């Protein structure tokens, strides 16, 4: 996972960079298909803002967080991104499994219909006319 870190009106120190790297490792634990992350840290008067865009296979996830403390803003950002990535992952798994589940149910239904027809045929043959 490649992390691009940009600062607007704030100097990116090694401490901030290390903090962002350790926090984004949490996202990698949940979903390992993250390609690229672009993080922007900015200061506007008394507001510390952290925003990020994550590029995942075929999708973009964006979140931002504002707080009085930059570290708290980064924590809020990671929490939001974590929820969004987990939701995306679950959607992707459920969507892929839906087609397989429907195909399995269709096969079972066809098998049940065939068994019912055989049973009806056997009953019809066994009855005297």
> Which of helix, strand or coil describes residue 46?
coil
Domains of the chain (ranges; CATH) run 2-96 (3.30.160.100)
pLDDT single digits (tens) 64-96: 999 999 999 999 999 999 999 888 888 888 776
Strands (E) in the chain, as ranges, are 2-8, 34-44, 47-56, 59-67
| Residue 48 vs residue 97, higher pLDDT | 48
Please give the model's pTM, rounded to 2 decimal places.
0.69
pLDDT single digits (tens) 17-31: 999 999 988 887 777
């Amino acid at each position: 996972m490649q992390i691009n870190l940009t600062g607007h009106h704030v100097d990116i120190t090694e401490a901030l960079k290390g903090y962002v790297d350790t926090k984004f490792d949490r996202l990698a634990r949940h979903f390992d298909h993250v390609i690229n992350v672009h993080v922007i840290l900015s200061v506007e008067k008394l507001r510390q803002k952290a925003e990020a865009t994550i590029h995942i296979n075929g999708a973009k996830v964006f979140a931002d967080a504002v707080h009085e403390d930059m570290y708290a803003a980064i924590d809020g950002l990671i929490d939001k991104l974590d929820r969004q990535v987990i939701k995306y992952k679950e959607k992707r798994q459920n969507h892929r499994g839906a087609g397989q589940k429907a195909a399995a149910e269709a096969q079972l239904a066809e098998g049940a219909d065939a068994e019912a027809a055989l049973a009806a045929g056997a009953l019809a043959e066994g009855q005297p006319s």
